[in-house]
Chain A
């Protein structure tokens, strides 16, 4: 199956800083999603982005499918951005595979 690797595993920021999270995958995909798991355990959709670039407020994501990676950008981070960010990818006819996540802590 597809291998998914996220980096960095942990990230600590001061409020207001910017950050980039990376997701590498081992094969071509037709599904790629970014999720945020907040400290209460809820899994929240951020982006459905098998290719291209999308933006939603302070967050944006880019997937370069031909080079097998996706990036999640967080600008002007806030304490409410804390939590775990998961990348999940799926190939043709295959289930989504989740990465191990990036644990983000934003300090006030």
Chain B
């Protein structure tokens, strides 16, 4: 299997612009997670889906952030409008056994907002 695939790997944008991050989970995994990693806060869970349905979005920092999973093989995390404090590495991960299952991460999308 190809593993979890994320794009873009790097994104540099200006404050106020819309950012869309993309993720393809491992085939057959029905749980998908979005994490954010910063030096200050470490790894934070933003939102997770089960069978394409958002289950817990309590980690989404504010309304500027939104996530969708239109089908089992694709998810997006959108930030609109972006701010410099959103600069971080955003990871997507998938699992076949939910919260108790082994988690597999993508390579991450490094976002820099100027």
Interface residues of A (CB under 8 A from B): 30-31, 33, 35, 41-45, 48, 50, 86, 88, 90, 93-96, 98, 100-101
Contact = CB atoms under 8 A, between A and B. Distances in A.
A18 B31 CA distance: 36
Assign chain B's interface to a size class: 10 to 19
Interface string B76-101: 00000000000001010000000111
A94 B91 CA distance: 19
Given A48-B102, A88-B103, A90-B99, A41 B108 contact: yes
Contacts of B56: 95
9 contacts: A41-B110, A43-B91, A44-B105, A45-B103, A94-B99, A96-B45, A96-B99, A98-B42, A98-B43
Interface SS of B by simple majority: strand
Interface of B: 42-43, 45, 48, 56, 89, 91, 99-105, 107-108, 110
Given A31-B99, A42-B105, A96-B103, 20 more contacts: A30-B100, A31-B100, A31-B101, A35-B105, A41-B107, A41-B108, A41-B110, A42-B108, A43-B91, A43-B105, A44-B105, A45-B102, A45-B103, A45-B104, A48-B102, A86-B43, A88-B103, A95-B48, A96-B45, A96-B99
B99 A93 contact: yes
Contact of A42 (B42, B43, B107): B107
Contacts of B100: 30-31, 50, 90
Contacts of A33: 102-103
Contacts of B107: 41-42
